């Protein structure tokens, strides 16, 4: 099973919870935005619809969202209205598409090689004005690299030579979560200034830093930084677990179970529940009675 989640969200309940979206969705459209916005909004819409059903029985103490899913997490925490979250997601997709057209990029998943080796290989492969960086640090042995196509190819070959089990090019329309998205970040920050962001009712662990965000100004800052920064998912889950303690229970809310699968590779002793299908939700509600 491919576990390269780009737009996922998560939320810690009673100790820790999560929100999610399906693994086949990409960080940004590979077709023109006008044809893809409804799909890009879909994962977040699903997550928030499920959250609305189970909200009364949840006791979240911290949340997190993988890439696009960070918007779902902030909306669930009351920092963004549903309307503003949807508008930001749409504009984000447009800006990322435009940045990808301006400077072509690519992404490759690296399985079975740690972050330290991957970072060194990316640094060595970034030459002659081309750049490649770790973009999604999903688990200790699962990383996605992103950047200029020639640099990504060199880095992929270097990862293979260093012992990576698999190196898989991904079909994307740009080098997401890399410096190539700087034009998109500028545009998104301008859009974020037009939106009212409230203090989240529970902290959201930021993709860009792996640290909890508890105020509106920091939320605005981190949502902008996300486009050019790596998704530090492993660090985020470790931080959530350390903040909450051993009693943490992670609840993945939305389509699919990718985040729960990743969590087992990050924190193999943590309790995790996925709420995707109607049967999952019904069982959870009954358990929480």
Please report, for residues 49, 93, 152, the alpha-carbon distance to residue 249 in angstroms, rounded to integers and kept in the order given. 21, 32, 37
- Grade residue 38 by pLDDT with cuts at 50, 70 and 90: very low
Please report, for residues 29, 35, 249, the alpha-carbon distance to residue 40 in angstroms, rounded to integers and kept in the order given. 7, 10, 28
Task: Give whichever of 22-26, 206-210, 257-261 has the largest mean pLDDT.
Answer: 206-210
- Output DSSP code: residue 57: G
Q: How far apart are the first and last CA of the chain?
A: 34
C-alpha radius of gyration, the chain, whole number: 18
Supply the pTM of this predicted model: 0.86
Look-up of token digits 């990029």? 105
Q: Which one has a higher pLDDT value, 61 or 117?
A: 117
- Asked about 177 being catalytic, the answer comes back as yes
Which among 126, 125, 116 has a CA at the least distance from the CA of 157? 125
Q: Which one has a higher pLDDT value, 276 or 143?
A: 143
Do 146 and 152 touch, CB atoms closer than 8 A?
yes
- Asked about 67 being catalytic, the answer comes back as yes
Burial of residue 196 (CB within 10 Å: 0-12, 13-18, 19+) is: exposed
Which of the following is catalytic: 20, 67, 72, 126? 67
Which of the following is catalytic: 173, 177, 260, 276? 177
Give residue 27's pLDDT. 37
Give residue 30's pLDDT. 36
The mean pLDDT value of the chain amounts to 85
- pLDDT over 60 (residue 34): no
Task: Give whichever of 39-53, 64-78, 184-198, 244-258 has the largest mean pLDDT.
Answer: 184-198
Of all residues in the chain, what percent are helix, strand and coil, respectively (each to 5)? 45, 20, 35
């Amino acid at each position: 099973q491919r576990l390269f989640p780009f737009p996922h969200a998560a939320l810690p309940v009673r100790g820790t919870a999560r929100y999610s979206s399906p693994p086949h969705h990409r960080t940004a459209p590979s077709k023109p935005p006008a044809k893809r916005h409804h799909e890009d909004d879909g994962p977040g819409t699903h997550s928030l619809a499920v959250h609305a059903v189970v909200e009364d029985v949840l006791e979240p103490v911290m949340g997190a969202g993988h890439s696009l899913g960070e918007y779902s997490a902030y909306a669930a925490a009351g920092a963004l209205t549903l309307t503003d979250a949807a508008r930001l997601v749409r504009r984000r997709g447009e800006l990322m598409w435009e940045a990808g057209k301006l400077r072509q990029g690519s992404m490759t998943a690296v399985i079975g090689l740690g972050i330290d080796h991957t970072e060194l290989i990316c640094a060595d492969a970034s030459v002659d004005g081309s750049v490649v960086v770790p973009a999604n640090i999903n688990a200790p042995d699962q990383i996605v690299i992103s950047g200029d196509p020639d640099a990504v190819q060199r880095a992929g070959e270097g990862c293979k030579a260093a012992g990576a089990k698999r190196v898989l090019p991904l079909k994307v329309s740009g080098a997401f979560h890399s410096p190539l998205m700087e034009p998109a970040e500028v545009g998104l920050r301008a859009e974020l200034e037009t939106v009212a962001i409230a203090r989240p009712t529970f902290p959201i662990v930021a993709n860009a830093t792996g640290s909890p965000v508890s105020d509106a100004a920091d939320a605005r800052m981190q949502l902008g930084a996300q486009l050019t920064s790596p998704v530090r998912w492993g660090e985020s889950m470790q931080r959530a677990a350390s903040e909450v303690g051993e009693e943490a229970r992670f609840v993945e809310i939305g389509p699919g179970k990718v985040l729960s699968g990743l969590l087992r590779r990050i924190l193999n002793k943590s309790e995790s529940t996925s709420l995707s299908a109607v049967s999952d939700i019904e069982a959870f509600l009954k358990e929480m009675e």
